[in-house]
Chain A
């Protein structure tokens, strides 16, 4: 190799450069395609300022509607998560390729994939048309979403366990259920708590919005307020939703702390 070439400190990465160039070109192209002109943006900012002015101060006078909507959203989230977890556990188990034969895993995986593919709002619309307006459609829609998420992650968690531990328990002559309880479940429990709390959190977020299509919860009141230009009430509802979700996240962290014993060595 000639000495000069050998002394190049930072060889240029042509792939990376091409990538950035492509990205910049795309942004310009897409913006023009979607008609993002500077003029529109400025008009929008102006509107935005006026909009924000109308939102503040938030108007909590109709707090009964607010509370009713929020409680309904919480209820939808709780029930959808509970139902979803309940149904996902066996389905996830059936979908685990390292434990089950193909003719069992295939339909289970198809079911999970189907549940994941559609946005909860779309599923909610279908349920509203079928079951009617109200919280039940919301619960059904979010249960479907939960099955898609928890089912997939639970199956993945099971597929990632060390079979050596299962083998060891089996070698003691333990029956199937005991093998599951001592060999499989301890390994997946930690991750399960993680994504179960994540899904509860996600359902809480979604339950605040399925109401927009009539599936119960505070979304309905929110949408109605928007259409009536009651922006200060909208602001009140948004703030409550943010606080609710934040509280939900804190709760989830505490629950995780209770069930996931971290190594205590460093806490002395």
Chain B
């Protein structure tokens, strides 16, 4: 599993305030395929971990090796080019509300298209064709010219996922992608991500708080507690004891 690791995190640490580390010396390897779910209580650093990978948050120390580069050391243009290869899905969808669905999908290509052309909406026809096809795949055929803010939460997240896939990423990150969605839609979204990941051969790392959802869709579960990894293994092997270690307390486990 490790010799073709797509992503290697080495000794990653992050302190927002001196002396109060949120991530403590995390080392993880991720294979080129597979659906990994990161679970843990709020404030334990799950979101920070995900965001350190594509440097939306600056790590305090450590290395993130992806595609032969240490992402922590990149800056400027090199960082942008590296980010193109990493797709991200957000909890609040983070679409450009006033633009249409099509325009939002194409923002995934902004790292590949010259700025002036992007402004004039002159994207390569191949991209546009791909966008239309993706809309069909995510179940939003016909929505191309609707404004993003007229869509429901589930629909917006589909656009968010499609946007990430438009980047032709080698890695897909998701930061609590279903936390703002109802249970049924959450399952649909997780399904969509898993299917796309398999079809396009992209490893997926999702940060989430719904343990059942994680068990159902993930191939690998990483449990974090207080900035450290306390569980790393198959969902089937996740016991109640493990969950107690991760989340603390037991009242929430069983009624």
A→B interface (CB under 8 Å): 6-11
Contacts and interface: CB of A to CB of B under 8 A. Distances in A.
B57 to A, nearest CB: 18
Nearest to A7: B132
Interface in B67-107: 102-103, 106
B128 interface: yes
Contact of B121 (A6, A7, A10): A10
B145 interface: yes
A11 B132 contact: no
B19 interface: no
Given A6-B142, A7-B132, A9-B144, 13 more contacts: A7-B128, A8-B145, A9-B102, A9-B106, A9-B121, A9-B123, A9-B128, A9-B131, A9-B132, A10-B102, A10-B103, A10-B121, A11-B145
Interface residues of B, number: 11
Which among A8, A9, A10 has the greatest number of chain B C-beta atoms within 10 A? A9
A7 B103 CA distance: 13
A11 B144 CA distance: 10
Interface string B124-137: 00001001100000
Contacts of A10: 102-103, 121
Contacts of B103: 10
Contacts of A8: 145
A10 B123 CA distance: 10
Q: Which 7 A-B pairs have the closest CB atoms?
A: A9-B128, A10-B121, A9-B102, A7-B132, A11-B145, A9-B144, A9-B131
Interface in B134-152: 142, 144-145
Contacts of A9: 102, 106, 121, 123, 128, 131-132, 144
A7 B102 CA distance: 10
Nearest to B127: A9
A6 B123 CA distance: 18
A11 B145 CA distance: 8
A160 B69 CA distance: 57
Contacts of B123: 9
10 contacts: A6-B142, A7-B128, A7-B132, A9-B102, A9-B106, A9-B123, A9-B132, A9-B144, A10-B102, A10-B121
B135 to A, nearest CB: 10
A8 B131 CA distance: 11
A164 to B, nearest CB: 28
A201 B151 CA distance: 43
Contacts of A6: 142
Nearest to A9: B128
Nearest to B128: A9
A155 B127 CA distance: 53
Which among A7, A8, A10 has the greatest number of chain B C-beta atoms within 10 A? A10
B118 to A, nearest CB: 12
A11 B101 CA distance: 13
A24 to B, nearest CB: 17
A7 B125 CA distance: 11
Nearest to A1: B142
Nearest to B125: A9
Nearest to B122: A10
A10 B131 CA distance: 12
Contacts of B142: 6
Nearest to A11: B145
A8 to B, nearest CB: 8
A207 B121 CA distance: 49
A9 B120 CA distance: 13
